[in-house]
Amino acid sequence: MIGAPHVHHRVTDSTNRRARALAEDGAPHGTLVTADEQTAGRGRQGRSWSAPAGSAVLMSVVVRDLAPGAEALLPLTAAVAACEGVDAAAAVRCEIKWPNDVWLEGRKLAGILVEGRPAEGWAVVGIGINVSARLADLPDELRSTATSLASAGRSGARSDEVLSAVVLALDRRLGTPAPELLDAWRGRDALHGERVTWSGGTGVAAGVDESGALIVETGAGERVRLDAGEVHLTGAAGRSTT
């Protein structure tokens, strides 16, 4: 079960770093690490994760003994669970920008970082969710693309309630068969049908395949499969976000 044991830090460098250390020492499946504040939080592509102290859910979970092939879908599993937990706790409807950024009203609400050592049978799922932060409290470079539940009109949302709901959703979703999990992910796909750009070109996002890779239609019937990297959404007005 996710959440036991539970290690909480008032301040730590990174919940993922603490959870990795515990996993290396043999911590059981479901070990949960949380913090009120991180001094070295990290996101995908080596980015930092910034949130004012006490304003976000900062959590990492040790995951062990996944079914064969489930490791590849773990980032998508975490994204679905984060959406479902936030929806339940705050009465909103979240979407997912491939592969696992959680969006609310077109802005990034939560980020997910999955790390691990599959050969040793474990992974760490890190989730950061902006709950009560004001946009003015975020770094300048994030104010045009990020949001929080409070900024989206859910100022009554509480971090402890969001944490509990996400833990329950993750516990449930880790046992979901791949076809059902992918259907749930596709139902929240924020990019489907949208024009996107990436390092290799531009096209229209056409969902994900059974491995979780993004499929992009580039024209003339050509389809490109992206299994890593950054994708940017470009709207009709030239809006671009990562």
The reported pLDDT for the residue numbered 220 is 73
The reported pLDDT for the residue numbered 237 is 36
**Neighbour count for residue 34 (Cβ, 10 Å):** 22
Domain boundaries, the chain: 6-186, 195-241
- Could you tell me the CA-to-CA distances from 170 to 12, 81, 131, 132 in Å, in that order? 23, 5, 18, 22
102 touches 112 (CB < 8 A): yes
φ/ψ of residue 94, rounded to 5: -90, 155
pLDDT digits 0-9 by tens, 192-220: 999 999 988 999 999 999 999 999 999 87
The reported pLDDT for the residue numbered 88 is 98
- Could you tell me the CA-to-CA distances from 225 to 4, 203, 228 in Å, in that order? 38, 11, 9
The reported pLDDT for the residue numbered 138 is 77
* Residue segments in the chain with a per-residue pLDDT below the cut of 70: 41-51, 235-242
pLDDT digits 0-9 by tens, 217-239: 998 779 999 997 889 887 543 34
Q: What is the three-class DSSP state of 224?
A: strand
Q: Which of 122, 162, 114, 128 is nearest to 35 (CA)?
A: 128
Any residues with CB less than 8 A from the CB of 47 and at least 6 apart, and which?
Answer: none
CATH class of the 6-186 domain in this structure: alpha beta
CATH class of the 195-241 domain in this structure: mainly beta
For the stretch 169-173, contacts whose Cβ atoms lie closer than 8 Å and that sit 24 or more positions apart, written own/partner, are 169/80, 169/81, 169/82, 169/84, 169/85, 169/88, 170/2, 170/61, 170/77, 170/78, 170/81, 170/82, 170/85, 170/125, 171/1, 171/2, 171/3, 171/30, 172/81, 173/77, 173/80, 173/81, 173/84
The reported pLDDT for the residue numbered 120 is 85
The reported pLDDT for the residue numbered 146 is 92
Task: In whole angstroms, give the CA distance from residue 134 to residue 57.
Answer: 14
The reported pLDDT for the residue numbered 238 is 37
Q: Following DSSP, what letter does each residue of 45-60 receive, concatenated? A: GG-B----TTSEEEEE
Give pTM, 2 decimals: 0.91
Q: Which of 151, 72, 164, 139 is nearest to 107 (CA)?
A: 151
The reported pLDDT for the residue numbered 48 is 57
